[in-house]
Amino acid sequence: MAFIPLEKAMCQLFTGVFFFAMQSCKYLQVSGTCQTKILKLKNIRFFNGKKELHHKDSHLKLADTVSITFEYQKKDTRNDTVTHFRSGHKSICPVLTWCSIVQRIRAYDNSNDESTVNTFMDKNNKLHKISGRQMLSQIRLAAAAIGKDKPGFTPKEIGLHSARCGATMAMYHSGIPVCTIMLLGRWSSDSFL
């Protein structure tokens, strides 16, 4: 089955944000006011050792790490950078996932450092921004395909914080120390309690 560009972009994006336990306002256009801004390509950096690789580097997929800088956090922190190492898995890897997102967006005409991570191009070569409503619909479709018996909840019980909550619970149940979860999720100690 071939995925349409929007489905592929949403799958990449949701996988990428899961590794960083991101709030939806960091990667989607959401309704209402938001203190934070959607990540831009300039916020995503790749490294081999200490050497930074440019987004158009032909060896970008060989990077050891991906670092994302969150310019402004709700906890009033600025330029908070979180780094993930390669997982070694061919498809569930933060480095490879973010590399695919960045390379896809960089391939679009007029893409630049200010392009947001929720950008995608349709089959008519028109650029769009993935919205919270679109992502929520896709997440719920995936949950419906799995069925409520396995996860223990219905698709209607899923919201846009599923990536953030799911990542947190996955780390916790994998034995990751709470302090590490707090660092990856960019939580202050008082907001985590």
CA–CA distance from 161 to each of 21, 78, 104, 128, 172 (Å)?
Answer: 9, 22, 25, 22, 16
Distance CA 117, CA 40 (A): 6
Calculate the CA dihedral of residues 110, 91, 162, 13 and round it to 10 degrees. Answer: 0
Residue 166 is predicted with a pLDDT of: 67
pTM value is 0.82
- Cβ-contact 40, 115 below 8 angstroms: yes
Q: How confident is the chain (193 residues) per 10-residue block, as mean pLDDT?
A: 77 89 82 76 97 96 95 67 89 93 95 95 91 88 79 76 66 70 60 44
Residue 193 is predicted with a pLDDT of: 42
Domains of the chain: 5-192 (1.10.443.10)
Residue 189 is predicted with a pLDDT of: 47
Residue 99 is predicted with a pLDDT of: 97
